[in-house]
Amino acid sequence: MCRVPWGCLAVTCAGKIRSRFLFRNPGAMAYLVLARKWRPQNFADLIGQEHVGRTLANAIRSGRIHHAFLFTGARGVGKTSAARILAKALNCEVALSDTPCGTCSSCLEITAGQGLDVIEIDGASNTGVDDVRELRDNIRYLPSRSRYKIFIIDEVHMLSTSAFNALLKTLEEPPAHAKFIFATTEPHKIPVTILSRCQRFDFRKIPLVRVAGKLREIADAEKITVSDRSLALIARHGEGSMRDALSTLDQVIAFCGEQVEDVDVQALLGMVDRRLLLDAVEAIVQHDARRALDAARRFDQLGVALRQVAQELVEMFRALVICKVAPEPAELLDLVGDELQELQKLSAGSALEDLQRIVTLLLKLQTELAGSPYPLLSLEMAMVRLASLPPMEDLAKLLDRLQRLEKRLATGSALPIAAGRTPVPPPPPGERPSKKTEPPAPAPPRVRGWEGLVEQVKQSRPIIGSILEHGRPLRLEPPALEIGYPEGSFHLAHFQDVDNRQAVEAIARLYFDHPVTLRVVAIAPDHAAAPPSLVEERQALESDRQRRLREDAMNHPALKAVQEIFGGEVKNVIPIDKGFV
């Protein structure tokens, strides 16, 4: 065979072409993207899917290998990689082991996606029943040189119903040399008859910290200078997908080269600056409206979508709530670097109720921004409103104050005097409370013992006692007892009955220990000289009590602040000891 330069055909001396080899310059080889170059090669490399790797490894070591596997989960979390690793472990030429050698011809071919006995099928392109029938016919043949003939079907949920039906019998009674590995992002679209014949493994989204750690390892190996802050942004952009994060890192390297700057990553990905987000959160928590307004302006100057800003703020305050209630917040939050420590400090100085109110208002802001003709104005006003929210403790103090008021009213103690008001002495017994600030005019003196007599009558004669409560005691000087009722009233007519009057006289004789003569007279409804009845007196006291409670509540600064923030009006003030209805 003669010598030929690279890129030419190798021929025999007879001039017949026996074979053709294309030699390429190693320096001109096609670039291998990071997602393929750093694809996991064994179960230990499956970041965030340790539960899958451990289960499969144990099954291989124990020899309990199922004939059909279903890998489910979001995109880019390692489903296809796990399928290839499993195929290498089953067909490794060195040994059937959970740690394939990776150097034998079988492992190398499977890694390159060219295994003769490992057939990878795209379920999205081979959806028909004829494709499955062809696969079913192929299953009958023994593997060419490996232990098993392995079929990897990606996006298996795309198969048609008839294709699934054609596959069903083979899955139920497969040949001993055949193994199936299905991968899908939508397992709910797979018939239950197929699901019941597979071992299912659910792949989780990879935590941001794990993704960022793997990106750091790859960046160092590729000799790329990039900060942890930029890697965190790239990992967050991947949304739990290692493949998406590696694709983003490829894009960043293409844009920035080997020296990656934070500002370039932020501009390329169109994400909100985390430092600016933290400044905005700090301004809101510390009630600094000026700084919050400035943060809104800087968000707009950066050209970031303001609705995205609201969403990021929701995530930030969600993190504050979790830091407040969870002893180990790192397990529930995708945060890297010192960001978690900063949020823990901010949450320590905030009340849980305040943080929950802020999250509610930010969710409302997201809806407003979707249809607002002035999105920047909406964001600015929301930021100022959030930074100006009064603490929830003021409302608790108001309730406590109302409770103390109720207790004082119930015990007859003096009411607390609000600042700036002129104290008004309570009315003496028998005197109607006045709505004016001046002391009320003196009324006819209330005869001592009237209330006790009425209570005594109510105990033995409840109906007569209730009627007495509506009467005005004009004279109570035993043996004379005179009661007035409005002319033409039911109460006056009731005492026209001699038996009723005699019943009151009998009880009064025992009460006063002296004979009593009852006289019931008619008076004008607006009789000024007559003292009020017990019913009128209680109504006046209750009205005054309600008035004072309402005034105290309406003048409280916390209630005013709530009305300014949430709008609305106070319909009623209900005493706590009376219950809520």
Residue 392: predicted pLDDT: 66
Residue 24: predicted pLDDT: 47
Q: How far is it, in rounded angstroms, from Cα 407 to Cα 53? A: 66
Task: Answer for the pair 469, 454: CB distance below 8 angstroms, yes or no.
Answer: yes
Say how many C-beta atoms besides its own lie within 10 A of residue 457's C-beta: 23
pLDDT, mean of residues 321-325: 88
Task: Answer for the pair 379, 299: CB distance below 8 angstroms, yes or no.
Answer: yes
Task: Answer for the pair 34, 219: CB distance below 8 angstroms, yes or no.
Answer: no
Task: Answer for the pair 389, 359: CB distance below 8 angstroms, yes or no.
Answer: no
pLDDT, mean of residues 115-124: 85
Q: How far is it, in rounded angstroms, from Cα 562 to Cα 63? A: 68
Tokens coding 433: 């409370």
Alpha helices in 94-241 (DSSP H): 105-111, 129-139, 161-172, 192-195, 208-221, 228-238
List, for residues 418-447, the tens digit of each pLDDT value.
444 444 455 555 455 544 444 444 444 346
Residue 414 has pLDDT above 60, yes or no: no
Task: Answer for the pair 495, 521: CB distance below 8 angstroms, yes or no.
Answer: no
398 or 324, which is more confident?
324
Q: Provide the pLDDT confidence category of residue 409 given band limits of 50, 70 and 90.
A: low
Strand 472-477 relative to strand 480-486, pairing: antiparallel
Tokens coding 348: 């320590």
Q: What is the pTM of this model?
A: 0.58
Q: How far is it, in rounded angstroms, from Cα 286 to Cα 387? A: 7
Q: How far is it, in rounded angstroms, from Cα 81 to Cα 494? A: 97
Alpha helices in 326-444 (DSSP H): 339-348, 352-371, 375-387, 393-411
- Report the share of the chain in percent with pLDDT over 90: 25
Angle, helices 306-325 vs 289-301, to 10°: value is 130
Who's near 69: CB < 8 A, 6+ residues apart? 83, 86, 179, 180, 181, 182, 198, 199, 200, 201
Residue 400, burial from CB neighbour count under 10 angstroms (0-12, 13-18, 19+): exposed
Q: Provide the pLDDT confidence category of residue 396 given band limits of 50, 70 and 90.
A: low
Helix and strand totals (H; E) in the chain: 24, 8
List, for residues 252-263, the tens digit of each pLDDT value.
999 888 898 888
List, for residues 453-476, the tens digit of each pLDDT value.
888 888 888 888 888 888 888 888
- Report the share of the chain in percent with pLDDT over 70: 83
- Which residue has 């800003």 as its token pair? 309
- Which residue has 């005179």 as its token pair? 482
Tokens coding 292: 């919050």
Residue 60: predicted pLDDT: 92
Q: Per mean pLDDT, which range of 24-28, 156-160, 213-217, 365-369 is the poorest?
A: 24-28
**CATH 3.40.50.300 placement within the chain:** 34-202
Q: How far is CA 282 from CA 94, 277, 288, 347, 356, in A?
A: 59, 9, 8, 10, 16
Q: Provide the pLDDT confidence category of residue 395 given band limits of 50, 70 and 90.
A: low
Coil vs helix vs strand at 181: strand
In 3D, which of 196, 158, 206 has the Cα closest to residue 50? 206
List, for residues 263-276, the tens digit of each pLDDT value.
888 778 877 777 88
Rg (alpha carbons) of the chain, rounded to whole number: 43
Coil vs helix vs strand at 302: coil
Task: Answer for the pair 329, 323: CB distance below 8 angstroms, yes or no.
Answer: yes
Task: For domain 34-202, say whether CATH 3.40.50.300 is its number.
Answer: yes
List, for residues 26-75, the tens digit of each pLDDT value.
444 577 889 888 999 999 889 889 999 999 999 999 989 999 999 999 99
Q: Which residues of 413-438 are buried (b: 16+ CB within 10 A; e: fewer)?
A: eebeeeeeeeeeeebeebbbbeeeee
**CATH 1.20.272.10 placement within the chain:** 274-387
Average pLDDT, the chain: 80
Tokens coding 392: 């929830």
Who's near 107: CB < 8 A, 6+ residues apart? 88, 92, 93, 100, 101
List, for residues 545-578, the tens digit of each pLDDT value.
777 887 777 777 777 766 666 666 777 777 765 4
Q: Provide the pLDDT confidence category of residue 408 given band limits of 50, 70 and 90.
A: low
136 or 10, which is more confident?
136
Q: Provide the pLDDT confidence category of residue 91 given band limits of 50, 70 and 90.
A: very high
Instruction: Read off the DSSP letter of residue 492.
Output: H
What CATH architecture does domain 274-387 belong to?
Up-down Bundle (1.20)
**CATH 1.10.8.60 placement within the chain:** 208-269
Q: How far is CA 232 from CA 216, 245, 274, 335, in A?
A: 10, 10, 10, 8
Q: Which residues of 204-232 are buried (b: 16+ CB within 10 A; e: fewer)?
A: ebbbbbebbbbbbebbeeeebebeebbbb
Partners of 475 in the β-ladder: 482
Tokens coding 581: 């209805």
Q: Provide the pLDDT confidence category of residue 186 given band limits of 50, 70 and 90.
A: very high
Instruction: Read off the DSSP letter of residue 479.
Output: T
Q: How far is CA 536 from CA 149, 176, 410, 445, 562, in A?
A: 98, 97, 18, 16, 36
Coil vs helix vs strand at 575: coil
In CATH, which superfamily holds the domain spanning 450-530? Answer: DnaA, N-terminal domain (3.30.300.180)
Question: What CATH number labels 208-269?
Answer: 1.10.8.60
Residue 301: predicted pLDDT: 85
Residue 394: predicted pLDDT: 57
Q: Per mean pLDDT, which range of 247-251, 498-502, 573-577 is the poorest?
A: 573-577
**CATH 3.30.300.180 placement within the chain:** 450-530
Q: How far is it, in rounded angstroms, from Cα 192 to Cα 169? A: 14
pLDDT, mean of residues 492-519: 85
CA 539 distance to own-chain centroid: 48
Single-letter code of the amino acid located at 426: P
